[in-house]
């Protein structure tokens, strides 16, 4: 052990000492630190995480599933290999004595960032001027891929949280309570959900937060049943109808499955549309020898292809352009080793703590979802 080895230090170990490690060196440090920590820590990895991190996880899955699993453990520390909003959900749902850690605080979500509290509150103010009483006419619905303060906003205004799985049931619930829905931050999930519920496209208006009144007239706002926030996932918007049609020309008996964060035309052209868990389960349950084109993040698709290859299944990524979730990719073996080794030495780095008043209101919106669906 040389003098620059961070394991020789008793103070907080800076990331610069880990940044130069190879993936193999970082992996060895991860294994060693986890052995020292034992059951004090539980490690979560989202499906979109890179393999060199994913392999160390105690639990894998989507964000809500992981948060619920972690909260049910006796672990003192919840290390979330995902992005910021996922760690916030875990903090909201965990017990007070548990601490959630995000290995890199820069691991955010571009979609979640497209709807911030200031813009949503301005939207609500403008809707008040147009509709007089939005709290009695509009139910705010936020996709779980959003910041904690937006979940809190929904909790305050009689709203709710949804996932890509339960969005149809949530829309039904919301429209039963009030005549309109404000859906944020992903317009594509909202549009596909409304479309599947039989809501005409002209009754789903896009609210552009950078324009006065969302760029809509009073008549358009009054006519809309769903106001779709102008937001999107940078990965899923890459998939296009021509990608599907080109693939079908060579695989006429194949199947196309997409995530509902894809645009409406891609979803329409797909044989199946659903969440990350739905995609994995559907392709895994398919007959041997089938061919699949998958419209979601590359790490998940590659992992699924490798897993199912022995069954003779061919699983291909939809886009000809390689695209991984850029913020999810910020969690690498070096950051994981850094946070774990510091934790083993008694230094808690990057704790995620949602303010109590915000967490209480966000929990209200999450509880409405969990108790209803």
Bond before 226 cis per omega within 30 degrees: no
The model's pLDDT over 40-57, given as tens digits with 9 standing for 90+, comes to 999 999 999 999 999 999
Mean local confidence (pLDDT), 123-142: 92
Whether pTM > 0.85 for this model: the answer is yes
Mean pLDDT score across all residues of the chain? 94
According to the model, what pLDDT value does residue 5 have? 42
Superfamily of 112-233 according to CATH:
NadA-like (3.40.50.10800)
**pLDDT above 80: residue 324:** no
According to the model, what pLDDT value does residue 8 have? 40
Mean local confidence (pLDDT), 260-268: 98
- Confidence bin at 287 (pLDDT 50/70/90): very high
Mean local confidence (pLDDT), 300-316: 97
According to the model, what pLDDT value does residue 3 have? 34
End-to-end CA distance of the chain: 54
34 burial type by CB count under 10 A (0-12 exposed, 13-18 middle, 19+ buried): buried
Query: What does each C-alpha distance from 51 to 45, 59, 63, 110, 297 come to in angstroms?
Result: 10, 14, 17, 22, 13
Indicate if 236-317 has the same CATH topology as 112-233: yes
How is the chain split into domains, by residue range? 6-108+328-353, 112-233, 236-317
- Confidence bin at 159 (pLDDT 50/70/90): very high
3 state DSSP class of 80? strand
- Confidence bin at 6 (pLDDT 50/70/90): very low
Query: Rounded CA gap, 229 and 231, in Å?
Result: 6
According to the model, what pLDDT value does residue 115 have? 97
According to the model, what pLDDT value does residue 157 have? 96
According to the model, what pLDDT value does residue 11 have? 63
**pLDDT above 70: residue 335:** yes
Tokens at 182, concatenated:
């404000």
Tokens at 181, concatenated:
């829905």
Tokens at 106, concatenated:
């820069």
Tokens at 269, concatenated:
């052209």
According to the model, what pLDDT value does residue 4 have? 38
Q: Within 10 Å of residue 293's Cβ, how many Cβ atoms?
A: 24
236-317: CATH, from 3.10.105.10, 3.30.300.30, 3.50.50.60, 3.40.50.10800: 3.40.50.10800
CATH code reported for the domain at 6-108+328-353: 3.40.50.10800
């Amino acid at each position: 052990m040389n003098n620059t080895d961070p394991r020789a230090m008793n103070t907080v170990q800076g990331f610069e000492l880990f940044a130069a490690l190879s993936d193999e060196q970082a992996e060895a440090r991860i294994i060693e630190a986890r052995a020292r920590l034992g059951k004090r820590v539980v490690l979560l990895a989202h499906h979109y995480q890179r393999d060199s991190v994913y392999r160390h996880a105690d639990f894998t899955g989507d964000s809500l599933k992981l948060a619920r699993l972690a909260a049910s453990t006796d672990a003192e520390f919840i290390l979330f290999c995902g992005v910021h909003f996922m760690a916030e959900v875990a903090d909201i749902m965990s017990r007070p004595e548990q601490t959630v850690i995000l290995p890199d605080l820069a691991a955010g979500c571009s979609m979640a960032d497209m709807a911030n509290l200031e813009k949503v509150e301005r939207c609500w103010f403008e809707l008040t001027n147009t509709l007089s009483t939005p709290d009695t006419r509009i139910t705010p619905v936020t996709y779980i891929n959003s910041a904690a303060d937006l979940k809190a906003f929904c909790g305050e205004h009689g709203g709710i949280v949804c996932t890509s799985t339960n969005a149809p049931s949530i829309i039904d619930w919301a429209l039963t309570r009030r005549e309109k829905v404000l859906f944020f931050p992903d317009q594509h999930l909202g549009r596909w959900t409304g479309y599947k519920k039989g809501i005409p496209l002209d009754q789903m208006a896009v609210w552009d937060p950078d324009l006065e009144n969302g760029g809509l007239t009073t008549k358009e706002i009054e006519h809309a049943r769903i106001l779709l926030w102008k937001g999107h996932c940078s990965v899923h918007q890459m998939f296009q109808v021509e990608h599907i049609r080109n693939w079908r020309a060579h695989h006429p008996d194949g199947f196309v499955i997409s995530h509902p964060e894809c645009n409406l035309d891609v979803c329409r052209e797909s044989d199946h549309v659903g969440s990350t868990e739905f995609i994995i389960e559907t392709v895994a349950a398919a007959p041997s020898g089938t061919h699949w084109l998958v419209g979601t993040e590359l790490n998940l698709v590659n992992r699924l292809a490798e897993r199912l290859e022995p069954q003779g299944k061919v699983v291909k990524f939809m886009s000809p352009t390689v695209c991984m979730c850029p913020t999810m990719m910020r969690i690498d073996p070096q950051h994981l080793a850094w946070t774990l080794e510091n934790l083993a030495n008694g230094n808690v780095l990057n704790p995620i703590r949602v303010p109590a008043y915000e967490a209480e209101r966000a929990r209200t919106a999450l509880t409405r979802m969990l108790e209803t669906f």
